[in-house]
């Protein structure tokens, strides 16, 4: 189970390159080091599970979270690229895409356990239904226009609704 992650919020020009590199080292390369360590044995045994706790920001960037979102997009691309190889060796590369809003560590643990115990775990398992509309928009419109427009309106036009929903 990979759950390493640090955040970074604020305008890009206010972030140091060293802090950005440190974040990428934890959020992305931490996962890479873990998979590199466990995958060879899983291939030899022809079985196992790799559960990666990611973020909705791996599917949708959010204003002032540029570097964090980039690290989570990297996680998504890494796992999407690895899944076919992993499945060839009967290793389930399960992505537990989540956001912390409205979720407790116990809730995430319960979802993670369900993925681990599943006979055929899904590639992605979304734990927070609040993000279903955004994820659906991304997949419904490959150009990204629907999702970007909806998210822009949510943040800048209907910000009162957003703040209320976060409570």
Q: What is the 3-state secondary structure (H, E, C) of 54-110?
A: CCHHHCCCCCCCHHHHHHHHHHHHHHHHHHHHHHHCCEEEEEECCCCCCCCHHHHHH
Residue 115: its pLDDT value, please? 87
Q: Which helix (H) or strand (E) holds 51?
A: strand 48-53
Over residues 81-106, the mean pLDDT reads: 66
pTM greater than 0.85 (yes/no): no
Q: Which residue has the higher pLDDT, 83 or 8?
A: 8
Residue 97: its pLDDT value, please? 41
Backbone angles phi, psi at 52, to 5 degrees: -115, 120
Which domains are present in the chain? 1-90 (3.40.50.720), 91-166 (no CATH)
Q: Which residue has the higher pLDDT, 132 or 14?
A: 14
Give per-residue pLDDT as tens, 95-126.
Answer: 444 333 557 788 888 888 988 898 888 877 88
Q: Could you confirm whether 158 is annotated as catalytic?
A: no
Give per-residue pLDDT as tens, 22-78.
Answer: 999 999 999 999 999 999 999 999 988 898 988 888 878 888 999 999 999 999 889
């Amino acid at each position: 189970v990979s759950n390493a992650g640090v955040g970074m919020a604020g305008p890009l020009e206010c972030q140091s390159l060293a802090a950005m590199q440190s974040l990428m080292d934890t959020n992305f390369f931490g996962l890479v080091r873990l998979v590199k360590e466990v995958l060879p044995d899983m291939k030899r045994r022809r079985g196992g599970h790799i559960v990666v706790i990611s973020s909705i920001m791996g599917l949708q960037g959010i204003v002032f979270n540029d570097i964090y979102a980039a690290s989570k997009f990297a996680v998504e691309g890494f796992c999407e690229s690895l899944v076919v190889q992993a499945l060839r060796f009967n290793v389930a590369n399960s992505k537990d895409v989540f956001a912390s809003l409205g979720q407790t560590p116990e809730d995430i643990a319960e979802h993670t356990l369900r993925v681990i115990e599943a006979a055929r775990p899904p590639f992605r398992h979304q734990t927070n239904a609040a993000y279903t509309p955004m994820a659906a928009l991304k997949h419904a419109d490959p150009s990204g226009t629907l999702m970007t427009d909806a998210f822009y309106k949510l943040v800048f036009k209907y910000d009162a609704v957003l703040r209320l929903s976060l409570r």
